[in-house]
């Protein structure tokens, strides 16, 4: 089978990597792909949102399966377009992807089907939102209702901060016209629970935890994720069962009832609060960088599961026992301004798996080409061993313009 992967980051590199382990894959294409994927896939110069060109390519090349990485492609209707042409695609329709693209849709669905989450209220009017927030306790959680590349959530400590955020979102429409959802503030460790979903069928993946802040000790600005690891020993089997039975499965059933059955990866961004597991957000796709630590642990042939989801058939998932821990190497200055085009050396000495997030290859040399550049995934019998291995390999990578966190996994390995 020929398989096309849509996307250009570390997540898509991890999907391509899992596909290379399949017995059924004859050729992998990536659109647009990146320098890392180019080692095992043919990169095609089509962007994630050029839907007509993607459909035309899949037809021309007789692609048997297309896998979608990024939410922008889903929200633009890539799955709808492929299905309309009878092409097999792994990823939800535009209507189903609203579970991620619209906070209000997700919150209303959870309220209607009794899925545990923070209490909320949605606003379009700035004055009304401000008055509501002023009458509540702080911190206040304010979320822009739409895709804002991870920048649409503000945890305001004071009324002044909340006012500024509400002005940005509702008066100056910084992310576009839209609503703001005001939520109750929850506390507890966060974790990511990704499931393969096909209508009412739900296949859970292994759990992972992301690290969103730029610097050690969870300090500094929010980023797209600076590291991740799997499994999560602090989430008990009971917590996991509860999340599966009270969150992921009910949401899959609810989407069927609402007339927009979900097909693809349903990502539950969950929090283990003192009152039990609650939903922070849903994503309609593989998490990044969680995918890069979860898929290396998948023992089953990933093509079987992608096809089972797309075709509504059955599959079983088996997992390796080893732990994985991944560290992002990011350009100095990220998530703010940063330089590009700095040469990266030492990659040939690395033993761990390295996923490319933002690189460029020129004349056989690799250069930085993004905010998050590389993701080094260590393996080990324990998380501690996986971290030691990842850090040892990070030290082998020579580049003047990269930084990384040294405390990935601290909640399990260092705290208390």
List, in sequence order, every residue forming a beta bridge with 263; answer none if it has no partner.
198
Query: Which among 28, 58, 63, 60 has a CA at the least distance from the CA of 43?
Result: 28
Work out whether 335 is an interface residue with ligand GLY (CB under 6 A). no
DSSP letters of 148-181?
Answer: -TT-SEEEESSHHHHHHHHIIIIIS-TTSS--EE
In this complex, which beta carbon is closest to ligand AMP, that of residue 132 or of residue 322?
A: 132
Q: Select the residue whose beta carbon is closest to ligand GLY and give its number.
A: 287
Looking up tokens 């189903």 gives: 96
Pairing outcome for strands 402-403 and 323-331: antiparallel
Residues 6+ apart with CB under 8 A from 125: 170
Work out whether 292 is an interface residue with ligand GLY (CB under 6 A). no
SS3 246: helix
In this complex, which beta carbon is closest to ligand GLY, that of residue 288 or of residue 407?
A: 288
Name the minimum Å distance from CB 210 to ligand GLY: 4
Q: Which does 214 bind (CB under 5 to 8 A by kind): ligand AMP, ligand GLY, none?
A: none
Work out whether 268 is an interface residue with ligand GLY (CB under 6 A). no
Which residue intervals of 4-158 are DSSP H helices? 10-20, 51-60, 71-75, 78-84, 98-101, 103-112, 126-134
DSSP summary character for residue 345:
B
List, in sequence order, every residue forming a beta bridge with 375; answer none if it has no partner.
328, 355
In this complex, which beta carbon is closest to ligand AMP, that of residue 191 or of residue 306?
A: 191
Residue from 80, 210, 292, 407 that binds ligand GLY (CB under 6 A)?
Answer: 210
CA distance 5 to 66: 6
In this complex, which beta carbon is closest to ligand GLY, that of residue 88 or of residue 103?
A: 103
Work out whether 288 is an interface residue with ligand GLY (CB under 6 A). yes
DSSP summary character for residue 245:
I
CA distance 33 to 101: 23
Binding site residues, ligand AMP, CB under 6 A: 118, 141, 143, 153, 155, 183-186, 190, 212, 269, 280-281
Name the minimum Å distance from CB 265 to ligand GLY: 10
Q: Which does 405 bind (CB under 5 to 8 A by kind): ligand AMP, ligand GLY, none?
A: none
Residue from 206, 283, 353, 389 that binds ligand GLY (CB under 6 A)?
Answer: 283
Q: Select the residue whose beta carbon is closest to ligand AMP and give its number.
A: 281
Residue from 145, 183, 290, 292 that binds ligand GLY (CB under 6 A)?
Answer: 290
Looking up tokens 């082998």 gives: 396
Q: What track of x and - describes contact with ligand GLY for positions 214 through 233 (by CB under 6 A)?
A: -----------x--------
DSSP summary character for residue 121:
E
Q: Phi and psi of 294, rounded to 5°?
A: -85, -50
Name the minimum Å distance from CB 39 to ligand AMP: 32
CA distance 412 to 208: 12
The answer to whether the CB of 216 falls within 8 A of the CB of 161 is: no
In this complex, which beta carbon is closest to ligand GLY, that of residue 210 or of residue 301?
A: 210
Q: Which does 183 bind (CB under 5 to 8 A by kind): ligand GLY, ligand AMP, none?
A: ligand AMP
Asked, as a colleague might, if the bond just before 326 is cis with ω within 30 of 0, I would say no
In this complex, which beta carbon is closest to ligand GLY, that of residue 190 or of residue 385?
A: 190
Cα 253–Cα 255–Cα 259 angle in degrees, nearest 5:
115
Q: Which does 153 bind (CB under 5 to 8 A by kind): ligand AMP, ligand GLY, none?
A: ligand AMP
Cα 251–Cα 145–Cα 137 angle in degrees, nearest 5:
95
Work out whether 287 is an interface residue with ligand GLY (CB under 6 A). yes
Name the minimum Å distance from CB 283 to ligand GLY: 5
In this complex, which beta carbon is closest to ligand GLY, that of residue 183 or of residue 288?
A: 288
Q: Which does 290 bind (CB under 5 to 8 A by kind): ligand AMP, ligand GLY, none?
A: ligand GLY
CA distance 160 to 96: 36
Name the minimum Å distance from CB 174 to ligand AMP: 16
* Binding piece for ligand GLY, criterion CB under 6 A, among 12-20, 168-176, 253-261, 284-292: 284-292
Q: Which does 288 bind (CB under 5 to 8 A by kind): ligand GLY, ligand AMP, none?
A: ligand GLY
The answer to whether the CB of 325 falls within 8 A of the CB of 405 is: no
CA distance 315 to 301: 10
Work out whether 12 is an interface residue with ligand GLY (CB under 6 A). no
**What's the half-sphere exposure (Cβ side, CA atoms, 13 Å) at 157?**
0
Name the minimum Å distance from CB 396 to ligand GLY: 26
- Contact footprint for ligand GLY (CB under 6 A): 210, 225, 283, 287-288, 290
């Amino acid at each position: 089978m020929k398989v096309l992967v849509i996307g250009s980051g570390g997540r898509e590199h991890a999907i391509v990597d899992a596909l290379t382990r399949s017995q059924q894959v004859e050729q992998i294409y990536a659109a647009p792909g990146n320098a890392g994927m180019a080692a095992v896939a043919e990169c095609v110069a089509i962007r994630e949102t050029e839907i007509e060109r993607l459909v035309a390519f899949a037809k021309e090349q007789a692609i048997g399966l297309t896998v979608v990485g990024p939410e922008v492609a889903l929200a633009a209707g890539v799955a709808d377009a492929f299905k309309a042409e009878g092409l097999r695609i792994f990823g939800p329709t535009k209507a189903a992807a609203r579970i991620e693209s619209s906070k209000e849709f997700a919150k209303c669905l959870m309220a209607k089907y009794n899925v545990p989450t923070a209490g909320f209220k949605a606003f379009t009017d700035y004055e009304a939102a401000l008055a509501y927030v002023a009458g509540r306790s702080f911190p206040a959680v304010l979320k822009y209702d739409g895709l804002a590349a991870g920048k649409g959530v503000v945890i305001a400590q004071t009324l002044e901060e909340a006012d500024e955020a509400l002005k940005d979102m509702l008066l100056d429409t910084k992310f576009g016209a839209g609503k703001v959802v005001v939520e109750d503030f929850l506390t507890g460790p966060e974790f990511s629970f990704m499931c393969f979903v096909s209508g009412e069928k739900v296949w859970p993946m292994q759990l992972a935890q992301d690290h969103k802040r730029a610097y050690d000790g969870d300090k500094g600005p929010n980023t797209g994720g600076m590291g991740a690891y799997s499994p999560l020993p602090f989430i008990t089997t009971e917590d996991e069962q509860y999340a599966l039975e009270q969150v992921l499965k009910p949401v899959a059933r609810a989407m069927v009832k609402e007339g927009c059955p979900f097909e693809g990866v349903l990502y539950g961004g969950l929090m283990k609060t003192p009152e039990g597991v609650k939903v922070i957000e849903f994503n309609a796709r593989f998490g990044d960088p969680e995918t890069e630590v979860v898929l290396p642990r998948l023992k089953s042939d990933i093509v079987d599961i992608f096809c089972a989801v797309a075709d509504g058939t059955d599959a079983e998932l088996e997992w390796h026992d080893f732990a994985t821990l991944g560290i992002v190497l990011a350009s100095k200055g990220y998530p703010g301004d940063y330089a590009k085009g700095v040469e990266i050396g030492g990659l040939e000495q690395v033993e761990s798996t390295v996923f490319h997030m933002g690189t460029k290859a020129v004349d056989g040399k690799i250069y930085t080409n993004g905010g998050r550049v590389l993701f080094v995934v260590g393996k080990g019998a324990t998380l501690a061993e996986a971290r030691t291995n990842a850090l040892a390999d990070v030290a082998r990578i020579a580049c003047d313009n990269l930084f990384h966190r040294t405390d990935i996994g601290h909640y399990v390995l260092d705290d208390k």
